[in-house]
Amino acid sequence: MSIYILRHDEANCIACHACEVHCKTNKQLGPGPAPCKIISTGPIDVGGQPRMRFVFMPCFHCEEPWCVKACPTGAMQKREKDGIVHVQSALCVGCKSCIAACPWGTPQWDPATNKAVKCDYCMDRLDAGLQPACVTKCVTGCLSFGVANEVPDPRRERYARYLFAEPPGGAREAP
């Protein structure tokens, strides 16, 4: 795995899909490819209340990426220094082997270039000392990014607050 974690705090997400467009504008992509995606389901009944699930699907940047192994030209690469899995576009011949190989359907097809494109944590921005586009401009701040174990997990803090703040009426709900 890459040394980084791109965390989605689902409780704080509103499924506004801004991350998808932020990502695409940074990669100058037109309609079609979606390097990251929010998948919504519901509403369903959870304890009498309506609840939706929002699942954020960027790339997981696997330790032994199927896509890298499947790539016949060496375009799909794992970066030595931090484990980011990325496409070197000049080497991509558009065979779609990476798309077929990935268990999560992460690599995307770009009809404008006839090549594969994927989440690379916005390497260009990271190397300039910035955060990925989706994280930088997230509406609620539910996306966070950093070296794994170095970024605080909002869920722990929220759980601690929840234990402390007993709402009146007793009707409380796990966070």
Residue 95 one-letter amino acid: C
For another protein, the closer CB: 48 or 103:
48
HSE of 74, CA atoms in CB hemisphere, 13 A: 0
**Residue 74 Cβ vs another protein, minimum distance, rounded to whole Å:** 30
CA distance 149 to 52: 28
Instruction: Give the binding site for another protein (CB under 8 A).
Output: 11-12, 14-18, 20-22, 24-26, 30-32, 42-43, 45, 49-52, 136-142, 154, 158, 161-162, 165, 167-169, 171, 173
Residue placing its CB nearer to another protein in the complex, 27 or 118? 27
Minimum CB–partner distance for residue 107 and another protein (Å): 18
Give the three-state DSSP class for 123: helix
- Which helix (H) or strand (E) element contains residue 154? helix 154-164
Closest distance to another protein from the beta carbon of 118 (Å) = 18
Bridge partner list, 134: none
Can you tell me the distance from the alpha carbon of 90 to that of 93, in angstroms, rounded to the nearest whole number? 8
Closer Cβ to another protein, 90 or 174, answer by number? 174
Whichever of 7 and 61 has its CB closer to another protein, that residue is: 7
DSSP 27-68: TT--SS--SSEEEEEEEEEETTEEEEEEEEE-----SS-HHH
- Shortest Å, Cβ 41 to another protein: 11
Q: How far is the CB of 141 from another protein (least distance, A)?
A: 7
Which residue, 33 or 107, is less far from another protein as judged by CB?
33
